[in-house]
Chains A and B, each alone.
Chain A
Amino acid sequence: MDSDDAEVDFRVRAAVYDGVMTSGTAPLGEDLAAQLALSREQVAAALERLAAGRALVLQRDSREVLMANPFSAVPTPFAVRAAGKLYYGNCIWDALGIPAVLGTDARIDGSCGCCGEAMSLAVTADALEPTDGVVHFAIPARRWWEDIVFN
């Protein structure tokens, strides 16, 4: 990768995170191109390089952003309300990562993976409020990236 590509990748990644942190939704490729004065092709190539480097996960067909961890670009069962906005985590770990990234209090509205009963978690002043429940990791750490969508 040449230095021009590296610069484009940096700008695209920063803009994706800025967008999702500001609005809760990842910007589309065409919006990134307009915002950064790049061509659609330059943005698409940068997104592919960032995905290959595991900095982002792209949607299978559209190649738009699916995950800018810990944020999900699409609604998930891990809704996070923080700073007056609604975000989505990719899993409970990522949902907890959102207040960590934002540096804000947050309420996570999740549910039991088994029975679906609503379960809320609250992060206040950089601490998780005492809560019941257990977090389960199904896949051993060395295989996390083999199927990041399932995981």
Chain B
Amino acid sequence: MLLFRSEEHIEEWCRAWSLQRGATLSPDTAWRLARAWYSADRRERGRRRRTVDETEALLAELGLTGPFWALR
């Protein structure tokens, strides 16, 4: 996941690398995603990865729904 100055710079980068355009987020939504994703302390005993259901719920809470964000 990269940061770009603008949508135009994303388009230019995708053209340069022959990559399909993916999904874009505002920096604030990316921050809220990071804060939600990394909320648990990874040093805790018994920590486990999120299930697919839990991950989908986390993404949906931030409005990240649709084919790009689908996990199955």
What residues of chain A have their CB less than 8 Å away from a CB belonging to chain B? 10, 13-14, 17-18, 53-55, 68-70, 91-94, 96-97, 100-101, 110-115, 117, 119, 121, 123, 126-128, 130-142, 151
CB contacts (< 8 Å) of B69 on chain A: these are 140-141
Minimal beta-carbon separation of A38 from chain B (angstroms) = 17
Is chain A's interface secondary structure helix, strand, loop, or mixed overall? Answer: mixed
Q: Name 8 A/B residue pairs within 8 A (Cβ), A-sorted.
A: A97-B38, A114-B16, A115-B9, A128-B28, A134-B9, A136-B10, A136-B23, A137-B23
Using a CB-CB cutoff of 8 Å, which residues 17-57 of chain B contact chain A? Answer: 19-31, 33-35, 37-39, 41-43, 45-47, 49
Number of interface residues of B (CB under 8 A): 46
Give the CA-CA distance A68 to B42 in the complex, in Å: 9
**B22 close to A136 (CB less than 8 A):** yes
Looking across the interface, which residue of chain B has its beta carbon closest to that of A94? Answer: B34
Closest chain-A Cβ to B1's Cβ sits at a distance in Å of 4
| Closest A residue, CB atoms, query B67 | A140
Bound complex: CA A3 to CA B18 (Å): 48
